[in-house]
Amino acid sequence: MSTLIDEIHRRRTFAIISHPDAGKTTLTEKFLLYGGAIAQAGQVKGKKAKAATSDWMEIEKQRGISVTSSVMQFQHSGFCINILDTPGHQDFSEDTYRTLMAADSAVMVIDGSKGVEAQTRKLFKVCALRGIPIFTFINKMDRDSRDPLELCEEVERELGIDTYAMNWPIGCGKEFQGVYARDKQRILFFGDNGRGKKADSIEVDLDDSAVGDIIGQKRWETLQEEVELLGAGREFDLEAVQNGMLSPVFFGSALTNFGIEPFLEGFLQMTSAPLPRVADCGEIDTFNPDFSAFVFKIQANMNKAHRDRIAFMRICSGKFERDTEVYHMQSGKKMRLSQPQQMMASEREIIDEAYAGDIIGVFDAGTFAIGDTITVPGKKFKFSGIPTFEPEHFMRVSPKDTMKRKQFIKGAEQIAQEGAIQIFKIPDTGMEEVIVGVVGTLQFDVFEYRMKGEYGVDLHMQRLPYEHLRVISKTPCEPKELTLCTGAQVLEDFRGRSLIAFGGIWSVGFLLKHNEGLELIESVTVQG
C-alpha cells in the first residue's frame, strides 16, 4: 500500500497557459529536456540550432499526432510531473477552463517584452477563476523587455491576484546578466555559452560594493533599489500561493534554458500532491485505493490516419490498472478502458498503470461526454460536473445538401459532445437545422471546417443576433406561450431543457416582468 501513497505523493499536475508565441512550447520542451524525457527518446539530438516549435512540428509530422494539444509527463527530482497544454487563443478559453479543471496548478508564460497581451486577458481571467495556484514565468529576458516592476503590476491588475517575485532580473536583452534569487540571496548568471548547461551562481550580499564590480556599478545600484522596494512590499505567503491569491513570479529565458531549474524547484516546493475532487457524496480522498476519474476533454481525430476519438480523464483517486473493469457512471455500464495511453515526451504509450493526479487518454467510440465520472464497479458517485460557459455568439446552421441530414446531425452532436460548440433546436421544428452557440467566433470556423473535413457536410450558416442564454427553471405556461421581447427566442437543448436566447441583458427584466412565475438561471449547464 505504501507504494500507492508514495506514487500519488510524488505527482504534480499543472496546466500551462500563454498567449501564442510567448514561449509555452519552448518552456514545455525545456521541462521535458530537464526531466530527461526528450533526451531519452533521442528527439533533440543534433537539432540544437533549430527553433523549438519546428522540432515539435517535426514530431507531429512524424508521428501524425498533435503533440502540442496534449498531456505530457516527465520525471524530475523524484517527482512525476504532468503538463497539460492549453490552446493559446481566447476563443478557446472554455477549453482552457476544462483543462484547468484537471490540473492542480497553472503556469502562465508571459513574454517579457509584451506583458499580459490583449487577446489573452480572458484566458488569464479564466485561470484566476479556478482558484488554483498560479505560477508566472516571465520569458524572453534575453531580449529587450519591459520594466519588471511594471510587468508584475500588470499581472496583478489584469488577473486580480497579488504577485511575489521569487527572483529579479538584472538587465535584459543584450545587457541581461542573470537573476537575483531573493530567498537564497544568490545571483544566477546568464551566459551566452550557457545554453543547456547549468548556469553559474554565487552567493552575494547586495550591500557589498563587490557586487558592483561584478555586474557593473549602475546595474548594482538599480538592483539594490528594486530589491529594497520589493522587500518593503508584500511578504511571501505560501497559503496565499496555494489558494491562488498570490502568484510567485520567476524571470527567465526558455530558449536559452535559463531559469528553468529554479523555476522547477520553486514550483515543486510550493505545490502539493494531487488535490481531492468533490463528488455528490462529498470529497473523494486522492489516496483512497479505489480508482476514480472524470473526463475533462474529448479530442477527435488526433490521428488523422485513424479517425480516432480520445477521451482524456484525470485520475482523482487510487490506481488505474489496465484491463481491470471500471464503471461508467453516466451510462451505468461496466467496461474496460480501451488502449489507455499517456504521452511521454513525444511518444504515445500504452500504459499498464497510472495514479491519482495522472491523465490518461482512452479510445472512445462515443460513450463518453465531458464531465463523466468513471469509478470501480460498486462505487456509485458523480464528480461535480464541469460548467459550460454561456455562449455569446449564435448561428443558424443547416446542411447545404438536404440528403446529408444524418451526417449533419451526427457531426453536430459529436462536436458538441467534445465541448467545442453547444447545439440547440427551435421547438417544434425538424432536424434540418440547429442553432449553434459558441463562446468565441473562431469556434464557428473550426466547426465548419470539421463538418466538411470529417463528415463531408457543407453548411449554410447564418448569424443570429442573440448574445445571452438562460435556462428556464420554472415557467407559468408552456415555454412557447411565453411573452417574449423582440429578438428573443425559445430554444431547446438536446436534453430536452428549454432555454431563452436574447440580445441585450435588459431583456431579462422584460421577460420576468411580462411572465409572472418565470424563473431563469444563468449557469447554462453543468456537464456530467
Tell me which stretch binds ligand GDP (CB under 6 A): 33-41, 181-189, 235-243, 247-255: 247-255
Tell me, by CB under 6 A, how many residues bind ligand GDP: 19
Site for ligand GDP contains 23 (CB under 6 A): yes
Options 15-23, 421-429, 448-456, 511-519: segment touching ligand GDP (CB under 6 A): 15-23
Range in contact with ligand GDP (rule: CB under 6 A) among 38-46, 196-204, 252-260, 364-372: 252-260
Question: Is residue 142 near ligand GDP by the rule CB under 6 A?
Answer: yes
Nearest-5° Cα angle at 66, 448 to 346:
175
Residue 377's nearest CA partner among 340, 333, 338 is: 333
Phi and psi, residue 68, nearest 5°: -75, -10
Residues in Cβ contact with 167 at an 8 Å cutoff, skipping those fewer than 6 apart: 179, 180, 181, 182, 188, 250, 251, 259, 262
Stretch that binds ligand GDP, among 22-30, 221-229, 274-282, 474-482 (CB under 6 A): 22-30
Task: State yes or no: residue 22 binds ligand GDP (CB under 6 A).
Answer: yes
Q: Kindly give the interhelix angle for 148-159 and 217-232, rounded to the nearest 10 degrees.
A: 30
Interaction between residue 297 and ligand GDP (CB under 6 A): no
- CA angle (261 as vertex; 128, 58 as ends), nearest 5: 80
Place of cell 499498464: 352
State yes or no: residue 143 binds ligand GDP (CB under 6 A): yes
- Single-letter residue type at 434: V
Mapped onto helix, strand or coil, the DSSP state of residue 232 is helix
Q: Which stretch binds ligand GDP (CB under 6 A): 16-24, 338-346, 418-426, 488-496?
A: 16-24
* Amino acid identity, position 491: L
Interaction between residue 173 and ligand GDP (CB under 6 A): no
User: Strands 134-139 and 246-251, how do they pair?
Assistant: parallel
Least distance (Å) from ligand GDP to the CB of residue 482? 47
**By CB under 6 A, residue 399 contacts ligand GDP:** no
Among 8, 52, 284, 310, binds ligand GDP (CB under 6 A): 52
Q: Under the phi-then-psi rule, with left for phi > 0, alpha for psi from -120 to 50, and beta for the rest, what region is 36?
A: left
Please state the three-class secondary structure of 63-117 as a single string: HCCCHHHCEEEEEECCEEEEEEECCCCHHHHHHHHHHHHCCCEEEEEEECCCCCC
Smallest separation (angstroms) from ligand GDP to the CB of 72: 13
Q: Does 33 engage in binding with ligand GDP (CB under 6 A)?
A: no
Of 102, 254, 457, 524, the residue at the interface with ligand GDP (CB under 6 A) is 254
Helix-helix angle 52-63:24-34, to 10 degrees? 80
Using CB under 6 A, which residues numbered 88 to 107 contact ligand GDP? 88
- Considering only 13, 15, 25, 469, the residue that binds ligand GDP (CB under 6 A) is 25
Contact 384, 528 (CB under 8 A): yes
255 touching ligand GDP, by CB under 6 A: yes
Is there binding between residue 55 and ligand GDP (CB under 6 A)?
no
Which residue lies nearer to ligand GDP by CB, 52 or 170?
Answer: 52
As beta bridge partners, residue 258 has 253
Given candidates 6, 47, 50, 51, which one binds ligand GDP under the rule CB under 6 A?
51
**11 forms part of the interface with ligand GDP (CB under 6 A):** no
Binding site for ligand GDP (CB under 6 A): 18, 20-26, 51-53, 88, 139-140, 142-143, 253-255
